[in-house]
Amino acid sequence: MKRLVIYFHYDPAGRIDTACRVAVQAMQKYARVIFVTNGTLNPADRVWVRQSGAGRIERENTGFDVGAYREALLSLGREELAGYEEVILMNYTLAGPVCTLEPMLAAMDARRELDFWGLTRHYAMKSARFGGNVLEHIQSHFLALRPRLFNSEDFWRYWQEMKLPESYEQSVICHETRFTPYFAAKGYVWDTYVQTDDMKDVFVNPIMACPRELLQNRGCPFFKRRSLFTPYADELRRTDGMAARELCGYIQSETDFPLDLLVVSLLKTQPLAALAQNLHWRYLVEKRHTAPADPAALGLKLIRYELPAADPVTDWYNQQAAAEADALLGEAAAWFEKEPLLGILSPSVPLYAGCTSARRAQWLAALPALREKAPVPVDEAPLPAPNCGWMLVRESAFPDGIPECKTQLDAWRLALTAQENGAYAAPFETAAQAVARADILNAYETAAARPADVAKQLGRLIKHRLQK
């Protein structure tokens, strides 16, 4: 089958990461690829596109994926598209493939009754954010079109009349959630390769809610890179919070996909707190009878720095945490052998509520200074580490040398530099602390279910604030 793939890409720094290269090269085995980027590519990345044999369009960063697809389609024109048997609109938000594409393409080639098809679908839902009633639709990260559709007046009118979106929400409303019902209403037949109708009463968005299930049991060759950094509060509203960790475990153990290289790329473009929450970068350490690892032999450096002063109870717990962690130094160091992208490891924030609130207050106060010089994105969620005035640092994560670190602000800047270099900072704790943390969370959840308890706790908080 003669195919064309229009592959949409965006990177604020003009880089084409390994995940994009893997996807393009995989699709090139079955199709001609035109690489469309919103922005300007780095010279070396532009050379890679040319050497790969793909066509290239560099355009102004307007209209999101909709603008990129529209410009590519209208630039190619109706006559050129008529020479293809299938045109695929695909974008960089998909990572993979984690397996051969042959089964998917063969299965869908056999379904000649289809006018368009996709990889996965999103089920109907109500969403004020996305225009109210969202109908069931093919997700726009992979949309394959057949001649009866792309040779039609309906198709070209759709794109010619398309308004370029000015926000992500507008992009979803004007194209992603509209395309499928718009053409289905005109009599065009569609379906998706990955079948998930048995779970539509459970998840409206299966590729995000249960990606491992789709890869492991339903033949899905791709996953969403957003799985690794989606807002964690959203995850907890729709899942048990383990989707990304389970996905990564499956990819690492059962596929050859270079997941670590994707993570390195995401560390440069996403806030560390979001990645850390979804991937659960928190490590258990226990004192063992076996000989602990030697930090120096592993290329690690122990750094201590001064913590900002807080109230006496918070100071006491921070000092205790740092002192108790000293006995676990060797065991903590062993995690650097197991986790090649781990750059900084420090004790977790003590479980006393005052420590958490003090750290957040200090972070928000430091945020303007951090953002001014930050080499990577920084948001209002504090970095997971360093904490407690104590950290182990992988020296190779700082090819230009480890910067001087005397204060908490220095420590956070150190973590952001490591992140720019493709390494992450994480906390460690004992199993007893992890159990206590779970019990505390359960106590909060139980109290939250009782309005009287919530009101009582709020009253105490107001009283303490007024007293201060």
**Residue 87 dihedral angles phi and psi, to the nearest 5°:** -120, 125
398 and 443: one domain? Answer: no
Within a domain: 265: no
Domain boundary among the residues 175, 196, 217 is at 196
In a domain, 238, yes or no: no
Rounded Cα–Cα distance for residues 366 and 298 (Å): 32
Residue 242 lies in a domain: no
Q: Rounded to the nearest 5 degrees, what angle is found at the Cα of 187, between the Cα atoms of 184 and 191?
A: 50
**Nearest Cα to 395, choosing from 295, 327, 324?**
295
Query: Is the domain of 348 the same as that of 451?
Result: no
Same domain, residue pair 19 and 157: yes
Give yes or no: residues 413 and 448 share one domain. Answer: no
Do residues 127 and 59 both lie within one domain? yes
> Do 141 and 44 fall within a single domain?
yes
Domain final position from 135, 161, 196: 196
Structure tokens at 8: 């949409």
Q: Is residue 168 part of a domain?
A: yes
47: CB partners within 8 A, 6+ apart: none
Q: What distance in Å separates the CA atoms of residue 357 and residue 342, rounded to the nearest whole number?
A: 26
Helix (DSSP H) and strand (DSSP E) numbers for the chain: 21, 18
DSSP assigned state of 63:
S
Is the pTM higher than 0.95? no
Boundary (domain end) residue, out of 142, 169, 196: 196
Alpha carbon 423 to chain centroid, angstroms: 15
Q: Is residue 249, in this structure, part of any structural domain at all?
A: no
CA dist 224 and 235 (Å) reads 14
* Ordered per-residue pLDDT tens for the chain, 468 residues: 899 999 999 999 999 999 999 999 999 999 999 999 999 999 999 999 999 999 999 999 999 999 999 999 999 999 999 999 999 999 999 999 999 999 999 999 999 999 999 999 999 999 999 989 999 999 999 999 999 999 999 999 999 999 999 999 999 999 999 999 999 999 999 999 999 999 999 999 999 999 999 999 999 999 999 999 999 988 988 899 999 999 999 999 999 999 999 999 999 999 999 999 999 999 999 988 778 889 999 999 999 999 999 999 999 999 999 999 999 999 999 999 999 999 999 999 999 999 999 999 999 999 999 999 899 999 999 999 999 999 999 999 999 999 999 999 999 999 999 999 999 999 999 999 999 988 887 776 676 666 666 566 557 657 666 665
In the prediction, which pLDDT does 466 show?
64
Do 303 and 405 form a contact (C-beta atoms < 8 A)? yes
Q: Is 65 a member of any domain?
A: yes
Q: Does a structural domain hold residue 222?
A: no
Helix (H) / strand (E) containing 9: strand 3-9
The set of residues, in sequence order, having a beta carbon less than 8 Å from that of 460 and lying 6+ positions away, is none
Q: Is residue 131 part of a domain?
A: yes
Residues 440 and 424 in one domain: no
Main-chain phi, psi angles of 110, to 5 degrees = -75, -15
Terminal-residue alpha carbon distance, the chain: 73
Q: What total of structural domains would you count in the chain?
A: 3
Can you name the residues that pair with 347 across neighbouring β-strands?
428
The CATH number of residue 177's host domain is 3.90.550
Indicate whether 407 and 315 sit together in one domain: yes
Residues 185 and 283 in one domain: no
Cα(468)–Cα(293) distance, integer angstroms: 46
Range of the domain at 419: 278-429
The predicted pLDDT at position 157 comes to 97
Nearest CA to 113 out of 183, 179, 190 is that of: 190
pLDDT confidence of residue 281: 97
Looking at residue 289, its pLDDT comes to 73
Are residues 43 and 92 located together in one domain of the fold? yes
DSSP string across 323-380: HHHHTTHHHHHTHHHH-TTEEEEEEPPPSSHHHHHHHHHHHHHHHHHHHHH-SS---S
Is residue 346 located within the same domain as residue 448? no
Q: Are residues 173 and 316 in the same domain?
A: no
Q: Tell how far CA 81 is from the center of its chain.
A: 34
